[in-house]
Amino acid sequence: MKKLSLLFCALLVSGSAAYAQQSSKKQQIISMANKTLDLAVRQYKLMMQHVPDSVLPRTTNSKDGSFVTAKTDWWTAGFYPGTLWYLYEYSKDNVLKQEAIKRTAQVEVEKNNKGTHDLGFMLYCSAGNAYRITKDPKYKEVLLTSARSLSTRFNPKVGCIKSWDHGRWQFPVIIDNMMNLELLTWATRTSKDPSFDRIARTHANTTMKHHFRKDYSSFHVIGYDSTNGAVLARNTAQGANDTSAWSRGQAWGLYGYTLMYRDTKDKSYLAQAQHIADYILNHPRMPEDLIPYWDYDAPGIPNAPRDASAGAVAASALLELSRYTRGETSARYWNAAEKMLESLSSPAYLAKEGENNNFILMHSVGSIPHNSEVDVPLTYADYYFVEALLRYKQWAK
Ligand code: GLY
């Protein structure tokens, strides 16, 4: 009996020591996140001063270091306003809010664009955050119109939203498209029209069937026959080759199935997100700092460029996935995200104030096969990084 009580006391003491250690680690990361977010606020207030009115920040030209912008119809247009909304939410700085309002209004014109699948990226990240934060009904109208435009690209014979109107495929669908489903599930919750949600679920189910290999890595592009949904091609556009695991694509899939589980509570989406997370985290070529090379099968590893954007997207998704899982599994996802945020907040990836054309992160990759945006800052790396830092602060509690 005495032995049992001693054992019980020892367990209690070691349990509370582990708890204290965990919570002091969380405090440490929260204070790191605050420092990084303070820097991000200062960087974006500097950036504001040199973004021409007619365009939006995109990246840096790797040859001459100049600031590269994009028009509103480029897929990344919504990330700058989205990041401004997040930074306003953090800082309550009215200067950021005014710039966020102006830049969200600028992107709004794309709500009628039926020529791209990227409306979720462009409008849910901008107007979606604007509506979440301000509750101004004008943003609701923008989002519902965008959801209707996106829905026109759904083909029931294929069971997917068409990604591109260009390229060699009859009906191309890319893994990135999972990210646009959030706009549709939101639209059903808000309008009570079930058709948006039905499209999102059908797209996610079709993608689950055809986009993944046995090891749960994903192809980048699936080419479908638009008349009967047959798979005609499995290719890459931005990865190393057709059979490789393009890092950002893996992160889009992870984030996409996590958000589909959040919005539907369908357990098959949770299982899929976990399979993808496990593929990434157990990958033998995942570097120690958990910021992936641009492709898990990139030539030249360990001397291949890293992709900080893939790390930022994965970190944000893993924090959320950790909330839908329990015990050791949940801790594994949380700890991996924590490590990614620590790495991204270190001088290896985080820009110094006033440098990097005022983007927050360095060292992302747009598309190596197109020799475009190699080892540069990218507006979406900043967006998902800031989102992940805010998520960490909110959920660590
Ligand atoms: N959605 C395009 C990309 O991830 O580069």
Of 192, 209, 235, which one is at a domain's C-terminal end?
Answer: 235
Whichever domain contains 359, its CATH number is: 1.50.10.10
Residue 277 in any domain: the answer is yes
- Smallest CA-to-CA distance from 177 within 144, 231, 217, 218 is with 218
pLDDT score, position 307: 99
CA-to-CA dists, residue 157 to 84, 203, 225, 252, angstroms: 39, 11, 9, 24
Examine the domain organization and report whether 192 and 164 are in the same domain. Answer: yes
Examine the domain organization and report whether 336 and 366 are in the same domain. Answer: yes
Residue 372 in any domain: the answer is yes
| Both tokens assigned to 227 | 């008349």
Q: Which alpha helices (H) appear in the chain, and where do they start and end? A: 2-47, 79-91, 94-107, 119, 129-134, 137-151, 181-191, 194-210, 247-264, 267-281, 308-323, 327-344, 379-395
Examine the domain organization and report whether 282 and 210 are in the same domain. Answer: no
Of 123, 152, 181, which one is at a domain's C-terminal end?
Answer: 152
Examine the domain organization and report whether 81 and 127 are in the same domain. Answer: yes
Among the listed residues 53, 73, 93, 176, the single catalytic one is 176
Q: Which atom of ligand 1 is nearest to the CA of 252?
A: 4
Examine the domain organization and report whether 317 and 360 are in the same domain. Answer: yes
CA-to-CA dists, residue 211 to 129, 175, 223, 318, 357, angstroms: 29, 7, 10, 20, 36
In tens digits, what is the pLDDT along the chain, a chain of 397 residues? 566 565 555 555 566 776 777 889 999 999 999 999 999 999 999 999 999 999 999 999 999 999 999 999 999 999 999 999 999 999 999 999 999 999 999 999 999 999 999 999 999 999 999 999 999 999 999 999 999 999 999 999 999 999 999 999 999 999 999 999 999 999 999 999 999 999 999 999 999 999 999 999 999 999 999 999 999 999 999 999 999 999 999 999 999 999 999 999 999 999 999 999 999 999 999 999 999 999 999 999 999 999 999 999 999 999 999 999 999 999 999 999 999 999 999 999 999 999 999 999 999 999 999 999 999 999 999 999 999 999 999 999 8
Examine the domain organization and report whether 273 and 183 are in the same domain. Answer: no
- Smallest CA-to-CA distance from 312 within 31, 15, 40 is with 40
Residue 11 in any domain: the answer is no
Among the listed residues 38, 118, 215, 242, the single catalytic one is 118
Is residue 55 helix, strand or coil?
coil
Domain count, the chain: 3
CA-based torsion, 298, 299, 303, 305: positive or negative: negative
**Could you tell me the strand order of the sheet in which 171-174 lies?**
171-174, 221-224, 231-235
Q: Whose CA is nearest to atom 5 of ligand 1?
A: 366
Is residue 172 helix, strand or coil?
strand
Examine the domain organization and report whether 338 and 282 are in the same domain. Answer: yes
Q: Whose CA is nearest to atom 1 of ligand 1?
A: 176
Q: Domain range holding 257? A: 39-51+247-397
Residue 28 in any domain: the answer is no
Neighbours of 193 (CB within 10 A): 14
Residue 29 in any domain: the answer is no
Residue 283 in any domain: the answer is yes
